[in-house]
Structure 1
Amino acid sequence: MHVPDGFINAPVSVAAGAVAASAVAVSLRGARRELDERTAPLAGLVAAFIFAVQMLNFPVAAGTSGHLLGGALAAILVGPYTGVLCVSVVLLMQGILFADGGLTALGVNITNMAVVTVVVAYAVFRGLLRLLPAGRRSVTVAAFAGALLSVPGAAVMFTLFYALGGTTDVPIGKVFTAMTGVHVLIGIGEAVITAATVGAVIAVRPDLVHGARGLAVPLKLRVDGRLVDAPAAPAAPVPAAARSTRPLWISGLVTALVLAGFVSYYASSSPDGLEKVAADQGIDAKAREHAAADSPLADYSVKDVSDARLSGGLAGIIGVGGTVLVGTGVFWAVRRRRADDLTAAATAAPSAH
């Protein structure tokens, strides 16, 4: 759903940029509460994984494909504020290095693919967790539902942007029907990928899944016919291997590299949902060439490498590596800012007398 330059006029693009910048600013502050020394590097990995999986377009209908948006996955794994930042980092890397998503449309894309998907997915996810019995299965089910609804939610937001600032004269009803129809199908793929990934991480390290925190249910004992909380057992020492996030980080990075560097070659070559709707309805009549169209990595291929498999694979590996470096740098900076804030608060607190 990467919106190119020229679909939305300048005033609405600027307004969307202001909304996106505000959302990122709020998320930078909120992420300070979500990130710690363990989750900061994992957030960078989540961004790189989303980049990799977005290269894997899957067929959804005749001549149409879809790909992961990633807002639901990021929000559930590392938190909603950090999730907005994860997807924003991916979109920035894609727009600057790979000419994917217009630079003047960056605000539109961040609002659609980062903000709206996270807000919709996390609201649905949290609402369902209040209704479902506590447990890992409920987290996976809620993740599936949140991801499923987040994609048509983003499609509706694009339709709103088009209604306010579309550069072509296409009836808004046609745009709405076409966008929501195809993106409901794409949402099914999003839901499957999100639920499978969340379930896999919960199976090995539930303590690192933001959306799975608080799953433990207090043990109940029946005393005189009444259920009461059992006394808390002494906490067992946690082995160093269990505390370390290195095995998960390495396995996640290897998976992302394999997906982007090798599996992406077999992705569907059909246009994605927005591209198909734009071509069918004439929305793309005034699309402009990307400012980075001459980038050495434009269109996810390495310039001057003639072999398509090698060119695409190298571009994917470079993208994953660049995204994990930039993302990890951003999240470590946010984490460090939180530590500085805590230190400042502690030194400013009046001493007890």
Structure 2
Amino acid sequence: MHVPDHMFHDPAEVVAAAGAVAALTAALRPRRAAPAAGDGDGRTLVAHPERLASQAATAALVFGLQMVNVPVLPGTSGHLLGGALATVLIGPRRALLAVASVVVTQALLFGDGGIGALGINLWLIAILPVALAAAATALVRRRVPHGGFLATASAAGIAALLAPPLAAAAFTGFHALGGAARVDVGELAARMVGIHLAIGVVEAVLTLAVLAAVAAAGERAVPAAALVSAGGLSVLASSAPDGLERVAGDLGFAVTGGGSLLPVGAEGNWSIAAAGLTGAVLAAGLLAVAAVLVRGRAAAASAPAHNRPA
């Protein structure tokens, strides 16, 4: 689902980028009243989501899991988007920052998604999946206020199932507005949503598996899972085209990304593992920097007016 630069005309990429910046700014705007640990509902699977270590571990986990493409349909693979998983672990606002950090790291260092298409990828991989998960968890918790982990996991599973087809539908909408390839929008929508609904099943299963592990072993399972996925499972990733690549091939338009600054696969499995671990650390580091900046803005906004710098 990582969109390369050539797939959309420049105006569409600019509009998407401006919208993504506006959405991220609005979501991360400092609040006058300090939110609860769960970003409003007070419930996250991680006990202390406000800690930078918890947020960084979540970003590393999402990065690692996104490296693991698994077979979905014959000739098609898919990977986790991670919005639902991150939302339940650390809350929606922090999840948005974590997944966005992953998307930026992938574009800048791995050539996974174009720089020009970064705004589109932020919508497809970070903003929409996290918004969907936030809405699903809030709805379930209102309807089942004492549902505990089962209710939370159910909401996460539903959001994880629907996030890939939602992103696929959004991709089709972007393409209708400014896509470079000449394809029938109806056929593109049917193929994209259909394949990504199957990918959503995989996303839901992986999300529930990780949440169950964290519920059983505690939040120390988050960095452990990040290490295993980025440094171990990544070498087992399927080489089959992902959903977008499969649809592009079927409809006759190419998906080619930029080159990676890291030698992914150049020297065999060890380089894949090394690149995965390096990327996970860098995504966690970018998240930490961004979180500190957001925290600083929040502190400045909550300070009494007479204590603020002129």
Q: Could you tell me the TM-score, scaled by structure 2's length?
A: 0.87
Q: Output the aligned Cα RMSD.
A: 2.3
- Does structure 2 conserve the Cα–Cα contact (< 8 Å) formed by 1:125 and 1:145? no
The change in CA–CA distance for 1:10 and 1:34 in structure 2 (over 3 A counts) is: farther
Task: Map 1:145-164; keep pairs closer than 5 Å.
Answer: 145-164=158-177
Match of 1:49 among 61, 72, 96: 61
- Does structure 1 conserve the Cα–Cα contact (< 8 Å) formed by 2:172 and 2:189? yes
Deviates more, 1:106-115 or 1:254-263: 254-263
Identify the residue that residue 218 of structure 1 maps to in structure 2: none
- Does structure 2 conserve the Cα–Cα contact (< 8 Å) formed by 1:41 and 1:332? no
Task: Map 1:123-134; keep pairs closer than 5 Å.
Answer: 123-132=135-144, 134=147
Match of 2:236 among 256, 260, 266: 266
User: How much does 1:322 deviate?
Assistant: 1.1
User: How much does 1:288 deviate?
Assistant: 6.1
Q: Could you tell me the TM-score, scaled by structure 1's length?
A: 0.77
User: How much does 1:201 deviate?
Assistant: 2.6
Residue 28 of structure 2: SS of its match in structure 1?
A: helix
Give, in whole Å, the separation in 2 of the partners of 1:263 and 1:51: 12
Give, in whole Å, the separation in 1 of the partners of 2:159 and 2:256: 34
User: How much does 1:318 deviate?
Assistant: 0.7
User: How much does 1:335 deviate?
Assistant: 2.5
- Does structure 2 conserve the Cα–Cα contact (< 8 Å) formed by 1:59 and 1:66? yes
Q: Residue 154 of structure 2 aligns to which amino acid in structure 1?
A: V
Aligned residues: 295
The change in CA–CA distance for 1:333 and 1:288 in structure 2 (over 3 A counts) is: same
Task: Map 1:164-243; keep pairs closer than 5 Å.
Answer: 164-203=177-216, 205=218
User: How much does 1:45 deviate?
Assistant: 1.2
Identify the residue that residue 284 of structure 2 maps to in structure 1: 324
User: How much does 1:22 deviate?
Assistant: 0.7
The change in CA–CA distance for 1:289 and 1:54 in structure 2 (over 3 A counts) is: closer
Q: Residue 271 of structure 1 aligns to which amino acid in structure 2?
A: P
User: Can you list the C-alpha shifts for 1:207-257, whole angstroms capped at 9, x where unaligned?
Assistant: xxxxxxxxxxxxxxxxxxxxxxxxxxxxxxxxxxxxxxxxx45x5323312
Larger radius of gyration: 1
The change in CA–CA distance for 1:182 and 1:3 in structure 2 (over 3 A counts) is: same
Identify unmatched segments of 5+ residues in structure 2.
38-47
Matched, 1:339 2:299: yes
Give, in whole Å, the separation in 1 of the partners of 2:120 and 2:296: 30
Give, in whole Å, the separation in 2 of the partners of 1:13 and 1:341: 32
Q: Residue 75 of structure 2 aligns to which amino acid in structure 1?
A: G
- Does structure 2 conserve the Cα–Cα contact (< 8 Å) formed by 1:27 and 1:82? no
Identify the residue that residue 77 of structure 1 maps to in structure 2: 89
Matched, 1:61 2:67: no
Residue 59 of structure 1: SS of its match in structure 2?
A: strand
Identify the residue that residue 155 of structure 2 maps to in structure 1: 142
The change in CA–CA distance for 1:344 and 1:116 in structure 2 (over 3 A counts) is: same
Task: Map 1:250-289; keep pairs closer than 5 Å.
Answer: 251-284=221-254
The change in CA–CA distance for 1:283 and 1:50 in structure 2 (over 3 A counts) is: same
* Seq. identity, %: 39
Give, in whole Å, the separation in 2 of the partners of 1:327 and 1:27: 15
- Does structure 2 conserve the Cα–Cα contact (< 8 Å) formed by 1:58 and 1:65? yes
User: How much does 1:190 deviate?
Assistant: 0.9
Q: Residue 39 of structure 1 aligns to which amino acid in structure 2?
A: R
Identify unmatched segments of 5+ residues in structure 1.
206-247, 349-353
